[in-house]
Structure 1
Amino acid sequence: MEVRGQNPPGPPKKYQATAAKTQPFGAAAFKSSNKTTLRWLGMGGFFINSRGTNLMIDPVLEGFDMPLLISYPIQSKEVPHLAAVLLTHADNDHYSVPTTAGLAPVTKVFHSTVYVDSLLQNRRLPAEGHDIGDTFSVGRVQVRLTPADHAYQNAYPGMSKRRFKNEDACGFLLSTPDGTVWAPGDSRLLAEHLSMPAPDAILFDFSDSEWHFTLAGAVKIANAYPNTPLLLNHWGSVDAPDFAPFNADPAVLAKLVVNPGRIKVLAPGEAYVLKRVKR
C-alpha cells in the first residue's frame, strides 16, 4: 500500500531502520552457475539467477517518486538480459513504469495478474496475465501465483474510479533446481499463507501496515515455517519516517520469532545462495 496521509495523528517518528550500504553488482551476476542466487534490489524487489535463468521480481531500479535511503545496486541500463520480470501488483514501488520501460529491451516476458497484464499490454510490452493458482515456466523455474489481499484502494473513496479485486495482486511461489522461494507480495494475512508446503526461502514482506501482514501477522507467518530463512524486504529503503508501510525494524522481528538466526537482513545487492531447508 502506498497511500500517504492515512496514518493516525501522533508525534513524528524520529528513528527509521535503514538498510546497510548497497553492494552493486553487474553483468557477472547474470552468468550461468551451478546454484540459485538471490539478491535484494531494495524496496520489494529481488533478482534471482537460478543456474543461468535470470528473473526479477518487482524491480524498482530508477524513477521512484519518493526520496530513498539506499542507492540502487544495478540500474536498468546495466541489466544484460532477463528471462522474465514478475510483478505482484500495480503499486509503483513494485510495478515501476520507468523500470519496466528500461528493462523491456532485454526482457523476454513480463508476468503478473490479469489486471497488471492489461496495464503492460496497454504499453505494448511483452506480457502474460494469470489467475491465482495458475502455473507457468521460466526456463528451469516453475512459478505458481499465490493469493493476496491488497485491494486497499476500495477503502478510500475517490482514490480510484476502478473497484479493485483481491486477484489483482498476487504472490509467486518459485520452484527452482535448488529449492523453493516464496514471494508473497504485499498482502494482509490470509489463512492460505499459513498452510503452504514449507519453502526454502521467503522473500519476506516486512511492514507494520494494516494492508500488509502487520508485525503480528509477520510473526505468525515466520513461525508457521520455523526453519525457513526470511529475506526481509519492504523496509529500510524509502525516506518516509511518518509512513508505516516503509518503516519496519528487523531488530523488533528478531525478538519475536522462532529461530531468529534465520532472518537475513541483506544489503541491497548482497548475494544469498539458496539451500534446501532440512525438514
Structure 2
Amino acid sequence: MATHKQAVPPPTVFFGEEAFQPIDHTEVRWLGSGGMFVNTRGTCIMMDPMLKGFDMPLLIDMPIAPENIPHLDAVLITHCDNDHYSVPSLHAMEHVSKAFHGPHYVAELMQAEGFPANGHDIGDSFEVGPAKITLTPADHAWQNEKAKYNYRVFRLEDYCGFWIETPDGIIWAPGDSRLMKEHLEMPQPDAILFDFSDNEWHIGLEGAIQMANTYPEAHLILCHWGTVDAPDLNVFNADPQSLYDRVVNPERIHAYAPGQPFSLKKS
C-alpha cells in the first residue's frame, strides 16, 4: 500500500506544575490527538487527555506525563474511543482530579473503572470554578457499522462536544463528529478546538471549512492531526495546508505544537 508523508506539528512544548498555577487570564493548550488543557483563572480542566498507553505508534512526545499532573478540577471525556477516553491516562491522574464528566454512557464506563464520574444529557450544563460547561451534540456512532461492537446500539447521546464559557471568552470543542445542523447554529465562540479530519465519521474537510467560515472570528486551534503514526488512515492525516486557502481570515488558524499555550480573549 502506498504511503504519504504525514503533516506533523512543531516540536512539543513541555509543561509542568507552573502551567497549573493561578493566572489572571485563560490559557488553552492542545495536548496532541483530540486533547486539551484549559487553565481559566487557576481552575484547571483537561478534556480527552491521551497522555500514555495508546495502542498505536505516535509522531509526537506528549507535553506532560499524567503522573506529573499536580491537580485538576475536572476531566471531561467526549466519547469512548481510546484516543479520547484513555483509561491508562485517567488511572494515572485519578487521584489528582476532583471530578470526571461525560455523556451518560461514557460516565458508566468510567464508573466501572472506579472513577467518580458524572453523566450528563446533551444540552446539560454544569460549573467548574468560573467556567460554565455545556454538552453539545455529536454524531460519531461508527461502532454500529462494526460487528465487533454489536453488543449494544450506540446512540447520538453517547458522544458530545463541550462548550466552555470562561471569564475570558468561549472555547468550543465539538469533539469527533460528522457535521451536524446544530454545529452551524451556535453563538459565536472565541476559539474552537478544531478537528478537520477528512474522514466519513469525522467532520470531513468540506464540513470543517464550512464550520470555520460560519464562525469567521473564532480562533482555530487545530487538533486530531499530526499525532498518530498511521499514514494510510485518513482519520489521522489532516493537513493544515488544506485550510489556509479556503478559510476566511486564515491568520486565525493555529497549527500549534502540543503543549503550546494559547491565550483566550473575547472576540
Same fold? TM cut 0.5 = yes
1:18-37 maps to which residues of 2 (within 5 A)?
A: 18-37=8-27
Distance 1:156 1:122 in 2: 23
Matched, 1:48 2:38: yes
Matched, 1:118 2:108: yes
Aligned position for 2:64: 74
**Matched AA of 1:85:** V
User: TM-score, normalising length from structure 1?
Assistant: 0.94
After the TM superposition, which parts of structure 1 deviate over 6 Å for at least 4 consecutive aligned residues?
none
Distance 2:208 2:78 in 1: 18
Deviations 1:169-196 (A, max 9, x none): 0000000000001000000000000010
Aligned position for 1:134: 124
Aligned match of 1:84 in 66, 74, 77?
Answer: 74
Aligned position for 1:235: 225
Aligned position for 1:158: 148
**Matched AA of 2:162:** F
- SS of the equivalent of 1:106 reads coil
RMSD between superposed Cα atoms in Å:
0.8
CA deviation after TM superposition for structure 1 residue 91, in Å? 0.2
Distance 2:151 2:29 in 1: 36
**Matched AA of 1:159:** Y
Aligned position for 1:193: 183
User: TM-score, normalising length from structure 2?
Assistant: 0.99
**Matched AA of 1:74:** I
Aligned position for 1:6: none
Distance 1:195 1:71 in 2: 36
Deviations 1:220-248 (A, max 9, x none): 00000011100000000100000011101
Aligned length, in residue pairs: 267
Distance 2:128 2:77 in 1: 14
1:126-275 maps to which residues of 2 (within 5 A)?
A: 126-275=116-265
- SS of the equivalent of 1:56 reads strand
CA deviation after TM superposition for structure 1 residue 13, in Å? 2.7
**Matched AA of 1:116:** V
CA deviation after TM superposition for structure 1 residue 157, in Å? 2.8
Aligned position for 1:57: 47
- SS of the equivalent of 2:108 reads helix
CA deviation after TM superposition for structure 1 residue 84, in Å? 0.2
CA deviation after TM superposition for structure 1 residue 124, in Å? 1.6
**Matched AA of 2:122:** I
CA deviation after TM superposition for structure 1 residue 167, in Å? 0.5
Q: Where does structure 2 lack aligned partners over 5 or more consecutive residues?
A: none
Aligned match of 1:93 in 77, 83, 95?
Answer: 83
Distance 1:173 1:136 in 2: 11
CA deviation after TM superposition for structure 1 residue 14, in Å? 1.6
Matched residues, percent identical? 55
**Matched AA of 1:257:** V
Distance 2:133 2:14 in 1: 27
Aligned position for 1:12: 2
Matched, 1:39 2:29: yes
Deviations 1:94-150 (A, max 9, x none): 000000101101000100000000001111211100000000001110000000000
**Matched AA of 1:267:** A
CA deviation after TM superposition for structure 1 residue 156, in Å? 2.3
Q: Where does structure 1 lack aligned partners over 5 or more consecutive residues?
A: 1-10
Distance 2:119 2:186 in 1: 23
